[in-house]
Structure formats: structure tokens, C-alpha cells
Amino acid sequence: MAAPLARRDAPGGLAVRPSSDRGLLREFLERDRLYAAYALCDLDEREFGRTRWGVAFDGQEAVAVALEYAGLAPQPVFVMGTNAGVGALLSELIRPRDAYLAARTEHLPAVGAIYRIEPGPLMVRMWVDRSLFRPCPAEVARLLPVEVGDLNRLYQLGFTAWLPPSAVAEGVYYGIRVGGRLVSAAGTHVISPDARLGVVGNVMTHPDFRGRGYATAVTGAVTADLLRFCDQVVLNVRSDNPPALRAYAKLGYREHVRFEERLIHRQGNALGALAALPGPIRRLLGRGES
């Protein structure tokens, strides 16, 4: 990798700098593309303008990357690399007051020196490719942008969410209707034609219709569609949700890594701007569990 063009000295003899070099960032993230799937997708033209990146260097070697995604606070922040590099980036360059952090467990001491970390269960990153995928035959239908009202009504049961029609138009959403009513749906968080990666998310079944395999069916339909042009498809699920883990395993998904998704508040930032928000809203503002 090229040496940094502009340096900011950080503790431990590291140098940190902002970067818009997608080649450099992609090369680093590809070291673990399944863990870095969201970040790799954010390198695509459509998403890149909403992101801010920092790289930590030890001499000429990149040792850590941090990504901050623009939008409503708390912003999603992703880190990858050495503890020293992650700590330097969060200390000197990527400095949100509040953030929804995705990090490996071993990064928490470095993060905790700068941020107050809220408790939370481990997340499981699962993945599948064409060789592993096992379809789930069911009566599902591709959802259209004009159906976003039905989709939002379903999601408001658990996510208190709002999706614009463009999210359905640009993504891949499938649903199941019973008596004309949308009772189960799944979609995508982000898709990268460049990285050939897709991220499944927004999986929801109405409580009155759970236990019938609907979530597995709609997730399988989205996955099958993505695998037409993606090499791998990933999703997140809480480690304390065994039914979801089993449902995704039926489709061929395998566990890649367990990691942290935590709401963090910069030290000295009293309560944090959105610390009191209910968990489901925070998960939606971040890009967490499917």
C-alpha cells in the first residue's frame, strides 16, 4: 500500500489520515470481506458519498481502518485492524459524540478508553454462497415500490421504521401475504455489484403469523435473488436468538464471526444525545440485526 500523503501523529508512533482512496480501502477490507461486507458495499459509488474514512499507518503499512456513515445520530461506525490503530483513529480522526459501533470484541478495550460502551449481546455474521444455499420453496412475491406503505406498516410493529419507496426500488424485497395482508417480509440493507456482495436485512413477520416458516421463506427468496449476481450474501443476527440462527442455517447460512454492535458515547458527553432511544430504533438507525 502507498505511504500516507498527509500525516497526523497519534499515540504509539502511528500516523492517521482521512482517505478517499477506494483502492487502498478495498485492499485492506478484502483481508476479511465477510466481516467487512457492509464497508465494502459502502465503497460503491451510490454509497461512498455518504461515508467518511480514516486509515492508521505504521510507517507505510496500513494497520487499521475506520468508517463513519453519514446520517442521523448515532451514526454507524465500523472499525477493523489492530487495537492501536483503532484507538488512534477514534482518538484523533473519527470522533463522533455518539455512534452505533460495529467492532470485534478485542477492540472494546481500545474503544472503551475513549467511549462509554452500552451493554449488548454479541452479533453473529452469517454468510452463504451458491454452493451452500438451500432454497425454501414457498409462495412469496417480489415487493414493488408502490407497496412500501404495507411494508412500513409491517415494520412498525417491531422496528418503528420508515422506508422510502426508493429503498424498495434500489433493493430486493420479498413478502408473503395472507388474505391480501402483508404478514412477512425481508429485504436488503445494501448491495454492491462491484464487490459482488449483498446484505440481507429488515426481516419481519407479524406476531400472529410467526412459527410458520415465513421468515425463512422470504429470507430465502431475497438470498436467491442476490446470488444471481453476488458471490456471497451476508446477514446479522443476535447471538441470543436461536430460532433465527436455526432458520438461516436451514437456508445454508454459516457463521463467520461473532462481533459487537454497541451504542457508544464519547467520554465527557454526559448521557449521549440519543442514549434514551428504545433499542429497536437504535438498531434501525444502525444497520444491525436482520
Give the pLDDT score at 272.
43
CB of 206 closer than 8 Å to CB of 157: yes
**Which CATH architecture describes the domain 9-124+259-285?**
3-Layer(aba) Sandwich (3.40)
Say whether 126-257 and 9-124+259-285 share the same fold: yes
Give the pLDDT score at 273.
44
Could you confirm whether domain 126-257 is CATH 2.60.40.420?
no
Give the pLDDT score at 286.
42
**Rounded CA gap, 176 and 204, in Å?**
11
H-helix segments, 177-253: 214-226, 242-250
**Rounded CA gap, 104 and 176, in Å?**
35
φ/ψ of 27, rounded to 5, equals -60, -40
Give the pLDDT score at 69.
94
Q: 3-state DSSP call for residue 95?
A: coil
Find the helix or strand (DSSP H, E) in which 36 lies: none
Give residue limits of the domains in the chain.
Answer: 9-124+259-285, 126-257
Give the pLDDT score at 159.
59
Give the pLDDT score at 13.
85
Give the pLDDT score at 16.
97
Tens-digit pLDDT profile for the chain (290 aa)? Answer: 444 444 556 556 899 999 999 999 999 999 999 999 999 999 999 899 999 999 999 999 999 999 999 887 788 999 999 999 999 999 999 999 999 999 999 999 999 999 999 999 999 999 999 999 999 988 999 999 999 999 999 998 655 557 889 999 999 999 999 999 999 999 999 999 999 999 999 999 999 999 999 999 999 999 999 999 999 999 999 999 999 999 999 999 999 999 999 999 999 854 444 444 444 433 333 455 66
CB of 161 closer than 8 Å to CB of 284: yes
Which residues 6+ apart lie within 8 Å of 35 measured at CB? 80, 104, 125, 256, 257, 259
Pairing verdict, β 75-81 and 98-103: parallel
**If 0-12 CB within 10 Å is exposed, 13-18 middle and 19+ buried, where does residue 183 land?**
buried
